[in-house]
């Protein structure tokens, strides 16, 4: 069986992994799992059975890792007559006609190629009651029915044959193990203690040695009582001798003794893990062995139920429903299961080795090793009489003097400094103190020998002083010798007080800083999971508290440096079970409002700056937009560099200096390049980063000179500074891989996820990121004006001020960040006016019609927002016509549609028509355009093979391998390519696929800018008085992939006939195809297209004009604003509206991931900002009522 998956975000891959697991457990031959792009397509026809799982991207496309395979299947003449296949599709029903289209096309094409579809294809909806699980389980069951006959469930394959043996072989120890005798096993805790701690001494075999902080690997045995229960349930005698023979070549690798006599007792006690809960797959296998139908169904449900709060998870997890649930417990509960020893072999895991830290120093105890073992045990919450012990700790706790243990010494995790004069800061939790005992034993010897030994500062966490203070006398001895500063933390000694090493660290942070700032090393030994991070944060905040030059974020960078210098050592362990742990509970409670860093730990990247972010949380493997982890990290690094550049630029400007146009314009375009769907080119990001370093150096020197001249002390940013990349990359030269890797590593140190971890305050970091995103939008709009040569110094000054603010201690104050956000909105109004005036160089917008039909002739397509570039291209086409006599038509796409509303652009005979819809459909529309394509500003998605060779970028836009038109290169290469390509012929319609969310139209009404609408104010007010206008609605903003954006279409359709809709941005494409009619007999449309997203400025001016005419405030107008947001320009527009005090704004289709619930609550209270509702009619009722 070959399992092939196409997955954009990882969801489909996880379901494919489930198919793989169950297929293997069913004994299916040669099961393999691959992504579509990992297959050699020509070999696919040789497969006998293929299981396809694929998601569908918004436009009905295959995921990126399935596209190459799909192209092969579309074009191949290979026959699949000898291949069986089946298809499972994952989709979202809100995408309407595109729901699971990829899976549907795959099923049809494989059938067309002669393949035999063994079961009907199944298409799952993430909005189903149990998500994709709703359809997945029945589909998977149907596949097994087809492949295995009538048996719907997994059977238990037999990997071994078990026969009676006449004699037992001598007990053999695996070659990697030694035998060690128990010298002593004493209990360190009082009798009856809930968590007994054992101090065990084992003798080493002759010639064996160990090193300080080494581990010992122990082979544990199952407890006698459990072994006896299993033997009884299997119906075998423990002393029976059996011989085990492998039935398959690979079975011997599973660690079972084959080819020799062995007792049943030894098989159950020493080899099989019968204490662990049976897996879901094994439970399904057991259901086939249950002769009682009710028990069989119950086992099957237990195995397959994946819903929230299911019984299996409750019993085997760490929640209130847990209970000991070993294989023996299961077999005793379901008495009709007919099972034998050979059903177990190869189907349940063998006993795994357990690692323990050695708590003795080799020079103190050369021939023996000592262990400190906590007996993990808990009682069932369901039945307190039921108690369970961990396999390994229960085994070790029960050892007696003279018993033999199988184990071997192995390297530990810690790599301590060889020089004992270097100080150590230690954190020990519970038995984690054992490692420090060994270290102190060695240091005591060195001290007695006259060596220079530094003092260790050890924070020791335990529950109660009286019962849990391990090695107390020894530690006091080390203290008395001056080798140790011991700071105990007792979590359970005082009611209402919960002390941990972290709280003790925070009480006197100066001590931590003293040790670590003087070449010290941090060592943690204790529980794993989140606990090491919890204490890491305590160290971070201690460092920041002791240094005015450090914030929590930059102190995190200091810790990262300690790690790279090998001065941050962690040895974390997990227990046999998830025992109740008050510390973990405390942390979970504290982190409820701050979960992002913990949920995303270990991600390849983290980005949540746009509306399409994965699952509304963040993109962690690859951006839904196509952004790679490398580009994400480089963009984070670039923003960090811009903050540092602006730190100096702001101070120079504030003191009356001039940083120069080069720095200002660089800051503008570099910031703009990180906006969603603008630049995905690693090389260009490195160039920006290199330029930042050069500019920052010059500004630092300028600032120092300025301070000297003024007699002031320079104000420096926090100490944490990333490496500077200053290499000059020749044009069209790829950077070295080592340079990229180096800068990516630096980028991860300053990225969003790092800042979440450092601050431990998602609300604060989210607002800080909102300011960054607002700046990205502001820089984009300001850059658009710069293309016309228009700029304002106050815009540059604010960008530097805001970036510098984010490096200051003020940025830790939520109120200060909110204030800066409002200022960002205010400043953006200046930028929007500047861009409005700049675009009006093409003439003020006036009503017009944009055709949406092909015009015969050569063709160029322009997408994005840059009307200046469009105007220059139209002029270039006119010059080309004069020189060559060849006419080239120019078509607009996406947010270039409003170009048809500007008289001077509309007057060009080369401006032919509008092609396509909003930006997100370019992957299915551009391939049908018969000419070159120019991308300006943002809105670029991953270019497809069908058209990438005729795509060009300009300005800040970039994609690896796509030709870029520099500012001085002109448009000749674009026009020449248009002349070489066929262009349009006699087609009556464009050839791209129908838009499932909008009805095709032959034209769009455009040109209703603020001048036109305000010019008709008298007529509009008259219609208000006559009752022909009851309310104005601003509906627009960004469009995007999500099917949920059909809300805006549904809202527009449901509005009363007396409504007037003002729309801006590409969100217009959700409603500009609708027929709204006109206002009374005025001829003015009820749907007014104000222009691009930046023309939200026009909406504001119209609202202010209406408010002035009606002598009221904007919030008193019969006006409702419903915004669709996607990227950072929409963020800054929202900030502008809020800065004007405009209330009752609705945003959607989702709340931005960077706005945590607590922040949304603040914005709700202050501005009545709200998310769109689930029902448009309900929202309309509330809007008409004034949202009171």
Helix, strand, coil shares, percent, the chain, to 5: 45, 15, 40
Is the dihedral angle over the CA atoms 967, 969, 972, 976 positive or is it negative?
A: negative
Instruction: Give yes or no for a contact between 649 and 663, defined as CB atoms under 8 angstroms apart.
Output: yes
Between CA 854 and CA 1030 the distance in angstroms is 39
Confidence of residue 48 (pLDDT cuts 50, 70, 90): very high
What integer pLDDT is reported at residue 998 of this predicted model? 87
Q: b/e per residue, 171-207, with b = 16+ CB within 10 A?
A: eeeeeebeebbbeebeebbeeeeebbbbbbbbbbeee
As to burial, measured by CB atoms within 10 angstroms (0-12 exposed, 13-18 middle, 19+ buried), residue 349 is middle
Looking at the structure, give the CATH architecture of the domain made up of residues 848-980: 3-Layer(aba) Sandwich (3.40)
Give per-residue pLDDT as tens, 1090-1120.
Answer: 999 999 999 999 999 999 998 999 999 999 9
Reported in sequence order, the residue ranges of 726-820 that DSSP labels E, i.e. its strands, are none
What integer pLDDT is reported at residue 578 of this predicted model? 29
Q: Which fold has domain 614-839?
A: Substrate Binding Domain Of Dnak; Chain:A; Domain 2 (1.20.1270)
As to burial, measured by CB atoms within 10 angstroms (0-12 exposed, 13-18 middle, 19+ buried), residue 449 is exposed
- Parts of the chain belonging to CATH 1.20.1270.20: 614-839
What integer pLDDT is reported at residue 194 of this predicted model? 82
Between CA 471 and CA 197 the distance in angstroms is 11
- DSSP 3-state of 218: strand
- DSSP 3-state of 620: coil
Between CA 1079 and CA 1020 the distance in angstroms is 9
Confidence of residue 970 (pLDDT cuts 50, 70, 90): confident
- Find all residues with CB under 8 Å of 1165, minimum gap 6, and list them: none
184-198, 732-746, 960-974, range with greatest mean pLDDT: 184-198
- Parts of the chain belonging to CATH 3.40.50.80: 424-590
Instruction: Give yes or no for a contact between 768 and 1154, defined as CB atoms under 8 angstroms apart.
Output: no
81, β-bridge pairs? none
What integer pLDDT is reported at residue 586 of this predicted model? 33
- Parts of the chain belonging to CATH 2.40.30.10: 176-220+353-412
pTM for the structure as a whole: 0.70
Tell me the pairing of strands 404-410 and 424-429.
unpaired
Helix spans in 970-1109 (H): 972-980, 1010-1015, 1017-1026, 1046-1054, 1096-1109
Average pLDDT over residues 1064-1077: 91
- Find all residues with CB under 8 Å of 802, minimum gap 6, and list them: 646, 771, 774, 775, 820, 823, 824
Full DSSP string of 297-318: HHHHHHHH--STT-HHHHHHSS
Q: Which residue has the higher pLDDT, 1121 or 381?
A: 1121
- Find all residues with CB under 8 Å of 40, minimum gap 6, and list them: none
CA 105, 57, 79 angle in degrees (round to 5)? 25
Nearest one of 361, 372, 369 to 408, comparing CA atoms: 369
Average pLDDT over residues 466-483: 95
Between CA 221 and CA 271 the distance in angstroms is 8
Confidence of residue 680 (pLDDT cuts 50, 70, 90): confident
Nearest one of 563, 569, 573, 543 to 555, comparing CA atoms: 543
- Torsion, CA 1143, CA 1148, CA 1153, CA 1156, rounded to 10: 40
Instruction: Give yes or no for a contact between 1038 and 1125, defined as CB atoms under 8 angstroms apart.
Output: yes
Token representation of residue 1124: 């669709």
Q: Is 120 left (phi over 0), alpha (psi -120 to 50) or beta?
A: beta
Token representation of residue 308: 């929230």
What integer pLDDT is reported at residue 602 of this predicted model? 58
pLDDT at 604 over 70: yes
Cis peptide before 559 (omega within 30 of 0): no
- Parts of the chain belonging to CATH 3.40.50.2030: 848-980, 1004-1184
What integer pLDDT is reported at residue 615 of this predicted model? 63
* CATH, domain range 176-220+353-412: 2.40.30.10
Looking at the structure, give the CATH architecture of the domain made up of residues 2-148: 3-Layer(aba) Sandwich (3.40)
Instruction: Give yes or no for a contact between 460 and 379, defined as CB atoms under 8 angstroms apart.
Output: no
At 770, which helix (H) or strand (E)? helix 762-786
| Contacts of 555-564 spanning 24+ positions with Cβ under 8 A | 555/720, 555/758, 556/720, 556/749, 556/754, 556/755, 556/757, 556/758, 557/720, 557/722, 557/749, 557/750, 558/719, 558/720, 560/749, 560/754, 562/516, 562/521, 562/522
pLDDT at 590 over 70: no
Between CA 795 and CA 835 the distance in angstroms is 12
- Find all residues with CB under 8 Å of 581, minimum gap 6, and list them: 527
Instruction: Give yes or no for a contact between 875 and 970, defined as CB atoms under 8 angstroms apart.
Output: no
What is the assigned CATH class of domain 424-590?
alpha beta
Give per-residue pLDDT as tens, 1075-1087.
Answer: 899 999 999 999 9
Give per-residue pLDDT as tens, 525-536.
Answer: 998 767 888 898
Average pLDDT over residues 69-90: 96
Q: Which fold has domain 1004-1184?
A: Rossmann fold (3.40.50)
Percent of the chain with pLDDT over 90: 62
What secondary structure letter does DSSP report for 994?
P
Confidence of residue 424 (pLDDT cuts 50, 70, 90): very high
User: At how many degrees (to 10) do helices 793-805 and 661-672 cross?
Assistant: 60
Give per-residue pLDDT as tens, 1132-1141.
Answer: 999 999 999 9
What secondary structure letter does DSSP report for 351?
P
- DSSP 3-state of 411: coil
Give per-residue pLDDT as tens, 979-1029.
Answer: 999 999 999 999 999 988 888 999 999 999 999 999 999 999 999 999 999
What integer pLDDT is reported at residue 1044 of this predicted model? 63
Between CA 485 and CA 479 the distance in angstroms is 6
Instruction: Give yes or no for a contact between 847 and 1007, defined as CB atoms under 8 angstroms apart.
Output: yes
Full DSSP string of 558-594: HHHHHHHTT-EEEEEE--SS----HHHHHHHHHTTT-
Percent of the chain with pLDDT over 70: 91
Chain centroid offset of residue 157 CA: 39
Average pLDDT over residues 398-405: 95
Between CA 179 and CA 206 the distance in angstroms is 11
- DSSP 3-state of 113: coil
Average pLDDT over residues 490-515: 90
């Amino acid at each position: 069986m070959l399992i092939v998956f196409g997955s954009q975000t990882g969801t489909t891959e996880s379901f494919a992994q489930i198919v793989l697991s169950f297929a293997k457990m069913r004994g299916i031959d040669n099961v393999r799992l691959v992504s579509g792009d990992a297959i050699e397509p020509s070999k696919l026809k040789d497969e006998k059975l293929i299981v396809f799982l694929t998601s569908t991207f918004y436009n009905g496309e295959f995921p990126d890792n399935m596209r190459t395979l799909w192209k092969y299947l579309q074009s191949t003449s290979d026959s699949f007559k000898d291949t069986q296949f089946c298809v499972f599709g994952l989709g979202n029903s809100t995408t309407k006609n595109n729901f699971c289209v990829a899976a549907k096309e795959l099923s049809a094409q494989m059938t067309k190629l002669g393949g035999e579809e063994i079961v009907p294809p199944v298409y799952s909806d993430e909005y189903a009651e149990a998500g994709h699980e709703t359809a997945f389980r029945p589909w998977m069951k149907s596949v097994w029915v087809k492949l295995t006959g009538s048996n719907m469930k997994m059977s238990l394959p037999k990997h071994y044959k078990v026969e009676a043996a006449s004699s037992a072989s001598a007990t053999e120890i695996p070659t990697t193990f030694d035998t060690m005798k128990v010298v002593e096993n004493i209990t360190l805790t009082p009798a009856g203690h809930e968590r007994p701690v054992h101090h065990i001494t084992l003798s080493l075999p002759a010639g064996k040695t160990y090193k300080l902080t080494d581990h010992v690997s122990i082979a544990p045995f199952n407890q006698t009582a459990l072994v006896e229960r299993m033997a009884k349930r299997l119906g075998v005698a423990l002393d029976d001798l059996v011989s085990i023979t492998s039935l398959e070549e690979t079975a011997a690798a599973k660690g079972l003794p084959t080819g020799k006599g062995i007792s049943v007792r030894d098989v159950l006690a020493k080899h099989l893990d019968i204490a662990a809960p049976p897996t879901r797959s094994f439970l399904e296998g057991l259901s086939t062995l249950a002769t009682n139908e009710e028990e069989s169904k119950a086992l099957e449900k237990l195995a397959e139920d994946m819903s929230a709060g299911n019984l299996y998870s409750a019993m085997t997890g760490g929640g209130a429903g847990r209970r000991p649930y070993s294989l023996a417990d299961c077999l005793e509960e379901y008495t009709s299961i007919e099972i034998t020893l050979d059903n177990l072999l190869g189907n349940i895991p063998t006993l795994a080795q357990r690692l323990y830290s050695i708590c003795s120093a080799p020079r103190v105890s050369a021939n023996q090793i000592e262990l400190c073992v906590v007996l993990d045990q808990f009682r069932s919450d369901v039945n307190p009489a039921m108690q369970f012990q961990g396999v390994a700790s229960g085994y070790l706790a029960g050892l007696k003097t003279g018993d033999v243990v199988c184990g071997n010494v192995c390297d530990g995790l810690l790599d301590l400094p060889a020089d004992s004069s270097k100080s150590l800061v230690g954190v020990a939790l519970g038995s984690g103190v054992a490692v420090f005992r060994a270290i102190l034993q060695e240091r005591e010897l060195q001290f007695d020998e006259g060596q220079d030994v530094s003092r260790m500062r050890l924070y020791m966490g335990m529950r109660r002083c009286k019962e849990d203070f391990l090695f107390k006398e020894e530690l006091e001895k080390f203290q008395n010798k001056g080798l140790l500063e011991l700071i105990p933390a007792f979590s359970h000694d005082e009611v209402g007080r919960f002390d941990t090493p972290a709280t003790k660290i925070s009480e006197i942070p100066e001590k931590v800083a003293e040790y670590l700032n003087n070449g010290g090393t941090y060592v943690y030994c204790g529980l794993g999971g989140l606990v090491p991070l919890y204490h890491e944060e305590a160290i971070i905040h201690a460092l920041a508290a002791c240094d005015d030059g450090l914030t929590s974020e930059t102190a995190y960078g200091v810790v990262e440096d300690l790690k790279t210098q090998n001065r941050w050592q962690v040895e974390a362990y997990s227990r046999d079970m998830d025992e109740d742990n008050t510390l973990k509970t405390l942390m979970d409670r504290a982190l409820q409002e701050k979960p992002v860093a913990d949920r995303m730990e270990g991600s390849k990247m983290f980005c949540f700056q746009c509306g399409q972010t994965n699952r509304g949380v963040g993109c962690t493997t690859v951006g839904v937009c196509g952004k790679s982890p490398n580009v994400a990290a480089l963009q984070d690094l670039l923003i960090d560099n811009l903050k540092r550049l602006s730190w100096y630029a702001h101070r120079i400007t504030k003191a009356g200096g001039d940083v120069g146009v080069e720095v200002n314009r660089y800051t503008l375009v570099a910031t703009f390049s990180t906006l969603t769907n603008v630049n995905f080119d690693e090389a260009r990001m490195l160039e920006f980063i290199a330029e930042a370093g050069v500019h920052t150096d010059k500004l630092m020197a300028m600032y120092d000179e300025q301070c000297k001249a003024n007699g002031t002390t320079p104000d420096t940013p926090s100490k944490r500074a990333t490496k500077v990349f200053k290499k000059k990359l020749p044009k069209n030269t790829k950077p070295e891989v080592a340079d990229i890797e180096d800068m990516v590593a630096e980028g991860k140190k300053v990225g969003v996820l790092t800042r979440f971890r450092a601050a431990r305050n998602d609300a604060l970091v989210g607002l800080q990121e909102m300011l960054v995103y607002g700046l990205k939008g502001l820089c984009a709009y300001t850059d658009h004006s710069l293309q016309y040569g228009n700029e304002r110094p106050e815009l540059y000054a604010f960008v530097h001020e805001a970036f510098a603010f984010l490096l200051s201690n003020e940025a830790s104050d939520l109120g200060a960040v909110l204030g800066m956000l409002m200022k960002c909105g205010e400043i953006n109004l200046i930028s929007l006016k500047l861009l409005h005036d700049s675009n009006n160089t093409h003439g003020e917008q006036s009503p017009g019609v944009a055709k949406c039909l092909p015009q015969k002739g050569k063709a160029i397509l322009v997408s994005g927002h840059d009307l200046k570039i469009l105007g220059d291209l139209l002029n270039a086409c006119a010059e080309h016509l004069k020189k060559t006599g060849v006419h080239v038509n120019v078509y607009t796409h996406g947010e270039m549609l409003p170009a048809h509303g500007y008289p001077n652009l509309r007057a060009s005979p080369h401006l032919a028509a509008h092609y396509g819809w909003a930006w997100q459909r370019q992957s299915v529309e551009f391939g049908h355009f018969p000419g070159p394509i120019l991308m300006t500003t943002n809105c670029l998605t991953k270019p497809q093979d069908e058209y990438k060779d005729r795509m060009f970028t300009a300005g800040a836009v970039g994609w690896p391998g796509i030709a870029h038109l520099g500012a001085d290169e002109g448009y000749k290469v674009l026009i020449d390519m248009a002349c070489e390509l066929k262009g349009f012929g006699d087609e009556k319609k464009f050839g791209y696929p129908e838009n499932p969310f909008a009805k095709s139209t032959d034209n769009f009404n455009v040109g209703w800018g603020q001048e036109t609408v305000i010019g008709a104010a008298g007529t509009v007010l008259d219609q208000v008085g006559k009752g022909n206008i009851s309310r104005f609605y601003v509906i627009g903003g960004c469009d995007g992939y999500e099917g949920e954006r059909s809300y805006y279409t549904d809202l527009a359709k449901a509005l009363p006939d007396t409504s007037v809709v003002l729309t801006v941005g590409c969100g217009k494409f959700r409603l500009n195809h609708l027929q709204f009619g006109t206002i009374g007999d005025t001829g003015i449309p009820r749907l007014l297209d104000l222009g691009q997203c930046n023309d939200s400025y026009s909406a504001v001016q119209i609202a202010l004009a209406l408010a002035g005419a009606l002598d009221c405030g904007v919030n008193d107008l019969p006006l409702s604003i419903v915004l669709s947001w996607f990227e950072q320009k929409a963020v800054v527009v929202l900030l502008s509206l809020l800065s004007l005090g405009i209330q009752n704004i609705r945003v959607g289709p989702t709340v931005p991931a960077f706005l945590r619930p607590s922040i949304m609550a603040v914005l709700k209270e202050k501005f009545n900002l709200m998310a769109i509702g689930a029902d448009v009619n309900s929202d309309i009722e509330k809007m008409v009522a004034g949202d009171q």
